Structure 1
Amino acid sequence: MNGPSSDRTLASESAGGTAAKLLGIYLNDHLAGATAGTERAAHLARATRGSALGRAVAPVAAEIREDRAALLGIMRDLDVPVRRYKVWAGWAAERAGRLKSNGRLVRRSPLSTLLELEALRMAVEGKAAGWQTLRRLTATDDRLDPGLLDNLLERARRQQDTVEEWRVRQADTALRTADRSTASPAP
């Protein structure tokens, strides 16, 4: 006989199924972002190789690649299937992002590096938000490792600090206006 208790069971199973579906969408969206972020970081590290910026960004790029692998591991632990079309979309979006006008046709502009650092900063911030969300879910899902998520969050914060430091430096270099003390006074 279907009574009130079986209705509640069906409602909770339905809500759990919806939550699992939404979590799968959420994690696959983050995987698309992680794919784009991994590609962006690797491209920036290659483009700046041999410079102080390149030496600072190369380890961050390696960590971002490891973070993407950690996300795949978390998805595996949660039985969330990878949606390949979202991974492809993240890859394609990053490639399309390289086709922006930078004031130069053939070689890199200082503006290119600034915009790439800003895109990387947003990617790391988005990743940190995802780790924070998953960390909160450890209270109700024992498949998630709180220690791992704490480490990933701390690493994302260090990455944010590094990227922001170099973003500010690059903004100063790329967008510096003429020194006002040598500029002619306005009429």
Structure 2
Amino acid sequence: MDAPSSQRMLEIYLNDHLAAATGGVALARRATRNNRDAAITPRLAAVAREIEQDRRSLLAIMRKLDVQVARYKVAMGWAGEKAGRLKLNGGLVNRTPLSDLIELEALVLGVQGKAAGWRTLLTIAEREPRVNTDMLRNLLTRAQQQFDELESIRVQIASEMTT
């Protein structure tokens, strides 16, 4: 069997990131909606809006690179986020403080994955003129800021759980 072409590998790669971004947007919205700390909620809401903007940026990059959206992967990302709600968190039906912590950890990991994707695209941009390197650098910087904010919130929630 022949190896997939570079374009095909790029399509697979970007659609995998789009699936993850779809789940990430849903998770960020849910974490914001379910948060009960008035000081944390606006911070989460700001990050959730940025995560949504980043997903739109990824779609714009895909259009520039003539990459078709694999709708089944987007659906899998959405379904994966829904399945992630079925976790043992110390309560069968109700949320517990552990739910908040686990969601924050998932968001932190998702933002790290997104940043890795932007770094990969920056590498590709060296030989692909359709990719806007300035935009990618801005997205990478924003991902680092999102990581810092989410990690700060995660640590706060973790410390409140243990007091």
TM, length-normalised to structure 2: 0.95
Q: Which residue of 2 aligns with 1:81?
A: 68
Q: For each residue in 1:116-149, what CA deviation from the matched residue of structure 2 results, as whole angstroms up to 9, or x when unmatched?
A: 0000001100000000000111110000000100
- The one-letter code sitting in structure 2 at the alignment partner of 1:81 is Q
Q: Which residue of 2 aligns with 1:184?
A: none
Q: Which residue of 2 aligns with 1:56?
A: 43
Asked if 2 retains the 8 angstrom alpha-carbon contact of 1:41 and 1:120, the reply is: yes
Q: Which residue of 2 aligns with 1:70?
A: 57
Any stretches of 5+ residues in structure 1 without a counterpart?
1-13, 178-187
Name the CA distance, whole Å, in 2 between partners of 1:107 and 1:53. Answer: 20
Q: For each residue in 1:133-177, what CA deviation from the matched residue of structure 2 results, as whole angstroms up to 9, or x when unmatched?
A: 001111100000001001100100000000000111111122x16
Shift of 1:107: 2.4
> Over alpha carbons, which structure has the higher Rg?
1
Q: Aligned with 1:63: secondary structure? A: helix
Return the match for 2:83 from 55, 77, 96. 96
Q: Which residue of 2 aligns with 1:185?
A: none
Q: Which residue of 2 aligns with 1:105?
A: 92
Asked if 2 retains the 8 angstrom alpha-carbon contact of 1:45 and 1:57, the reply is: yes
Return the match for 1:39 from 26, 33, 36. 26
Residue identity over aligned pairs, in percent, reads 51
Q: For each residue in 1:8-56, what CA deviation from the matched residue of structure 2 results, as whole angstroms up to 9, or x when unmatched?
A: xxxxxx98x7000000000000000000101000101111166211111
Asked if 1:153 corresponds to 2:140, the answer is yes
Name the CA distance, whole Å, in 1 between partners of 2:71 and 2:96. Answer: 33
- The one-letter code sitting in structure 1 at the alignment partner of 2:110 is A
- The one-letter code sitting in structure 2 at the alignment partner of 1:19 is S
- The one-letter code sitting in structure 1 at the alignment partner of 2:123 is R
Q: Aligned with 1:36: secondary structure? A: helix
Name the CA distance, whole Å, in 2 between partners of 1:101 and 1:86. Answer: 26
Asked if 1:169 corresponds to 2:144, the answer is no
Aligned-CA RMSD value: 1.5
Aligned residues: 162
Asked if 2 retains the 8 angstrom alpha-carbon contact of 1:49 and 1:55, the reply is: no
Q: Which residue of 1 aligns with 2:10?
A: 23
- The one-letter code sitting in structure 2 at the alignment partner of 1:96 is A
> Greater shift after overlay, 42-51 or 159-168?
42-51
Asked if 2 retains the 8 angstrom alpha-carbon contact of 1:36 and 1:91, the reply is: yes
Shift of 1:106: 3.2
TM, length-normalised to structure 1: 0.83
